[in-house]
Amino acid sequence: MWKDWIRPFVRPLPQWSTVAVAPPQQVVTATLRWDGHSADVTADHTVASLVPLVIATSLDAGPRPVLEYRNNTTGTLLGVLHLAQMASVASETTAITLYHVAAGGHRCLGWPLRSWNAWLQNRLMRKNRAPHHFAPEPAAVQQLMIAYLCPRPVVLVSVDAPGHQNIFPMDLIGPLERSGLFSLALRSTSASVSVMREVRRVALSGIPAPMKAVVYKLAEHHKHPLQDWNALPFPARPSREFGIPAVAAALRIQELSIVHSQDVGSHTLFLGRIVSDEKLAEGTQLHHTAGFHQAYRRRHGIPLAEV
């Protein structure tokens, strides 16, 4: 149909695609390169803040490394982020390095569609930008989409303290493998930040892909704590050591003991250690990836299953 042909020229691709992927994702590999060195950081880098856009890793890769994302099967380069070292975060005996994203680009779409799609997306972002509302610059969102070339798993984070209970979705999370730490980047305005800093423990429920709608609904709890665990729209089960209510249908429940937290731009970066890890079910987990990544995969006949 001529409409299918004309669509990419008048309408931008969606920024994000919600997909069902068996964890841990193995469709895209991330490699850090610096001064003749390279290291696989697929399970050792995470987003620490959105404004400014900051990446955390347990490697010290010098002042100006490059982060490459490649299709794991073919080795094709999909996108690149150019990083600039900001600071080290010392926690217990390990250190994490923070990198500001200085520039980036992707190759998921051919030229001129790549530039045209970015222009259409940026125009839409500027149009929908509410005044006084936190929002990264369109250029930073383009770079964030590159960081999502590695599909990011969605979990529900449960917090339980006297007088405060909450459960909300997060995807700015992940292991920083070499350090043994696990990170969460939570907007500093979120309702549970101060309680998490105090109680220093959370439970993470790995979300089966079919639970997308109910999980998105729980995003309201970034602003408003949960009134009552009994009001949850699904059955809960206590996490193993801490007894924090978590999702009974979760693929996996991990308990995190928080060892460090600090402000990084718009977000609070929590670093923790996994104290228990219950693998409860096989199946696909809800993930987010960039819309242009899914368009690339569709063009090559290898789309991820959308939910």
What residues make contact with ligand FMN under the rule CB under 6 A?
154, 169-172, 185-187, 190, 215-216, 219, 222-223, 267
| Nearest to ligand FMN of 114, 187 (CB atom) | 187
| Nearest to ligand FMN of 115, 189 (CB atom) | 189
Beta carbons within 10 angstroms of residue 163's beta carbon: 6
CA–CA separation, 89 vs 4, rounded Å? 49
How wide is the angle at C-alpha 57 spanned by C-alphas 286 and 189, nearest 5°?
65
Closest separation in Å from C-beta 74 to ligand FMN? 29
| Nearest to ligand FMN of 106, 267 (CB atom) | 267
CA–CA separation, 221 vs 287, rounded Å? 20
| Nearest to ligand FMN of 181, 215 (CB atom) | 215
Q: Side-chain half-sphere of 189: how many Cα atoms within 13 Å?
A: 5
Closest separation in Å from C-beta 143 to ligand FMN? 17
Closest separation in Å from C-beta 155 to ligand FMN? 9
For residue 214, the SS3 value is helix
Which residues have a Cβ under 8 Å from the Cβ of 92 and sit 6 or more positions away? 259, 260
CA–CA separation, 304 vs 307, rounded Å? 10
Encode 86-117: b = buried (16+ Cβ within 10 Å), e = exposed: beebebeebebbbbbbeebebebbeeebeeeb
| Nearest to ligand FMN of 65, 169 (CB atom) | 169
Please answer whether residues 182 and 92 qualify as being in contact, where contact means their C-beta atoms are separated by less than 8 angstroms. no
| Nearest to ligand FMN of 76, 189 (CB atom) | 189
Is 184 exposed, middle or buried (CB count within 10 Å of its CB: 0-12, 13-18, 19+)? buried
Closest separation in Å from C-beta 253 to ligand FMN? 18
Closest separation in Å from C-beta 73 to ligand FMN? 27
Closest separation in Å from C-beta 198 to ligand FMN? 18
| Nearest to ligand FMN of 97, 183 (CB atom) | 183
Q: Is the peptide bond before 65 cis (omega within 30 degrees of 0)?
A: no
Q: Is the peptide bond before 131 cis (omega within 30 degrees of 0)?
A: no
Closest separation in Å from C-beta 109 to ligand FMN? 25
Closest separation in Å from C-beta 244 to ligand FMN? 18
| Nearest to ligand FMN of 222, 293 (CB atom) | 222
Place of tokens 């459960």: 167
